[in-house]
Amino acid sequence: MKTGDYDDLTIVPASPVPEEPKFLPTAITPENCPSEFAPVKWILDQFLPGGVLGGFVAEGGTGKSWSLLEIAFCAAYGFAFLRPERKGQRDIYKVVYFNGEDSNETIQRRLRELLNKYGEVEGGNLKIYPMAGRSNKRFTSPDVIENYLKEIPEGTDLVIFDPASQFFMDDAEEKNTVMGQFIDYMTKIREHLGPDATVLLSHHMSKAGSASGSGVAQTARGSSAFTDGLRWVATMTPYRPKDKLVRVKVAHWDTSNFEYPPLIRLLNAKNNNHAVFRPMDIYQGRGGTFRFAEDGEEICGEITPLNLTCDGCEPTQYPEIPSTKGKRTVEKKNEPEKKESTDNSRQSRVKV
């Protein structure tokens, strides 16, 4: 082979060796701290913030999935939460809702009730995936994260997993390490969606938490790693009949003749970086959608009472109930009357 045979060859430089990632990220110092920040993003104004991994903890049967679907619907179509008259007063967001328990028909019936309440919508901002009975829905390995991310559209702002127990491993409630791994998977999904996206996980309350009625974040069932890894938690707790607020709300009804809807306290039990939202007293009206309990006339309209003693009353005109705090009443037993003693022996021993 002659030397001239190599004249047409081009020397390709070797590819640069990529630098190994640093063990530590760039440190934050007072000198490099910015003076201005972008406004805090809210998925639902002053209620559900953007950019968090959040939780929604409730007792079974309180309407957890109902309320989550309503949250998703309001976020997707620009409604204020539970206020159908306030359409268009806020931004709209892309929402994906993975439902792990309910059937297709159940989800569709609930969605129809929301459409009846809020009105018909358009835009395709809400996608609901019925995952009940699917064996591949659980996060058993990091590969499952990629499977979900392929189905979540780009630019999604809110992702809901309801309930979380249908998506984490079977022993996650008993082992903090396994639950911690699931929380890490959820964090990776949230980070992939962007800094302002929120992932919301629903979970059931423990029996002790339900009995206490406190509504604190630690009432979630199972491993404490669940709420420890969340930055925002809301709880739904039904009022007990002994609670004064329940009696005040329904005192103008003759409750002995009919049942009234149970009142539920929606409470912001944990909020690390945002303002805590005002506790809400809500109830499920006809059809299942939630209403604010402060709308007293609306509650009256939802009930078909046998004897309504205060028809057309104002929402704030509830009769005061005397406080029994600090007072103790002892039921008197039917004892025979004591005859007045005629014994003067005691008086005789008293010195004058």
Structure confidence at residue 129 (pLDDT): 96
3-class secondary-structure state, position 41: coil
State yes or no: pLDDT of 311 exceeds 50: no
Structure confidence at residue 190 (pLDDT): 96
Average pLDDT over residues 116-120: 91
**Ranges 73-82, 130-139, 342-351: which has the least confidence:** 342-351
For residue 7, count other CB atoms closer than 10 A to its CB.
7
User: Of the spans 20-34, 146-160, 257-271, 283-297, which averages the highest pLDDT?
Assistant: 146-160
State yes or no: pLDDT of 112 exceeds 50: yes
Structure confidence at residue 90 (pLDDT): 75
Residue type for position 7: D
Q: How distant, in Å, are the alpha carbons of 197, 243, 335, 346 from that of 342?
A: 86, 50, 20, 10
Structure confidence at residue 339 (pLDDT): 52
Token representation of residue 264: 């539920």
Phi, psi of 16 (to 5 degrees): -65, 145
3-class secondary-structure state, position 228: helix
3-state helix, strand, coil in the chain (%, to 5): 30, 15, 55
Average pLDDT over residues 41-69: 90
State yes or no: pLDDT of 295 exceeds 80: no
Q: What value does the CA radius of gyration of the chain take, rounded to a whole number of Å?
A: 30
**Mind listing the pLDDT tens digit for each residue in 77-108?**
999 888 877 766 678 999 999 999 999 999 99
Cβ atoms of 296 and 314 closer than 8 Å: yes
Confidence of residue 146 (pLDDT cuts 50, 70, 90): very high
**Distance of alpha carbon 183 from alpha carbon 324, whole angstroms:** 46
If phi > 0 it is left, if psi is from -120 to 50 it is alpha, else beta; for residue 183 that is: alpha
Structure confidence at residue 9 (pLDDT): 64
Structure confidence at residue 297 (pLDDT): 44
Cβ atoms of 232 and 264 closer than 8 Å: no
The domain ranges of the chain are 42-240+265-278
**Mind listing the pLDDT tens digit for each residue in 165-220?**
999 888 777 788 888 999 999 999 999 999 999 999 999 875 444 444 444 445 55
Percent of the chain with pLDDT over 90: 37
- Which is more confidently placed, 325 or 131? 131
Q: Which fold has domain 42-240+265-278?
A: Rossmann fold (3.40.50)
State yes or no: pLDDT of 317 exceeds 60: no
Structure confidence at residue 59 (pLDDT): 82
